[in-house]
Amino acid sequence: MTRTMRPQDLVESPVVDSHGSKIGKVGTVYLSDDTRQPEWVTVKTGMFGHKENFVPLQGANLDDDGLHVQVDKDKVTDSPHFDADGHLSQQECMRLYEYYGIPVQGGGRQPMDKTGRTDQAQGQAGMAGTTGRHGRADERSDRSGAMDDQQESVRSEERLKVGTEETEAGRVRLRKYVVTEEQQITVPVSHEEVRIEREPIREGDRSGAATIGEEEHDVVLHAEKPVVDKETVAVERVRMGTEKVTEEQTVSGKIRKEQIDVDDETGRGKR
């Protein structure tokens, strides 16, 4: 669902190019000096989001899944790089218009911080398109009465946002293969042997007359021999699964924050 592009909604929104690829997140919103409407944004790119590239909002729309722009990722990555903390000069604007092929529409552009307030460049020269002062300038309160003489400065700081994402750490494959090995098994075997027994014939056992001649008798001998056969049996079931193990890792990053010093020459002010 397309939403109206308000500066405070654009900051930190994911930026998607014309082909559906994610470029990064919105860092700073730049307003038109003429219409005070968002016209440019910077996109945080690089591994840690330290680099910011300018992207035009012409033809862009803000959906629930992020800011969809009409340029591709490579075009944004190679765009001219300027300091995203200050007011864009006329020359810088012209370079961006020429790079993206956009017709020129007025002077400089004014950045917006993440709280929804626009940075006020000092002096009319900065508003006309020359380079303004970088950083945050004091803003005069719009409150009436006794508060008209009060001035305030907004102090901002960066904070680390740490999360996790799931990535593929490696693959484990369960593979079954066949190996051949030699086994030796001792098996008892039996065999028959001839045993000769001699028994003398006693006088009383003799009957008839004995004869002399040739005679043969055969005895069949038997023996066992090993017989080897094979059968396939299931011996083990192997399962492979995953389990989640949680461990702690320490991450670090550099952050910036603003400090406010008060120079009071009278010595009567309260801090």
pLDDT on residue 154: 85
φ/ψ (deg, to 5) at 95: -65, -40
User: Is 140 within 8 Å of 151 (Cβ atoms)?
Assistant: yes
- Per the structure, the count of domains in the chain is 1
14 lies in a domain? Answer: yes
pLDDT digits (tens, 9 = 90+) for 134-185: 233 333 333 334 445 666 778 888 888 888 888 888 888 899 999 999 999 9
Q: What's the mean pLDDT when you consider all of the chain?
A: 77
223 lies in a domain? Answer: no
Count of residues in the chain:
271
155 lies in a domain? Answer: no
Element (H, E) at 110: strand 109-112
212 lies in a domain? Answer: no
For residue 105, what is the domain's CATH number?
Answer: 3.90.50.10
pLDDT digits (tens, 9 = 90+) for 237-249: 999 888 888 988 8
Element (H, E) at 74: helix 73-77
Distances (CA, A) of 44 to 79, 84, 147, 261: 13, 11, 38, 30
172 lies in a domain? Answer: no
230 lies in a domain? Answer: no
Domain of 106, in residue numbers: 7-131
* Residue stretches of the chain with pLDDT short of 50: 1, 107-108, 110, 112-147
69 lies in a domain? Answer: yes
30 lies in a domain? Answer: yes
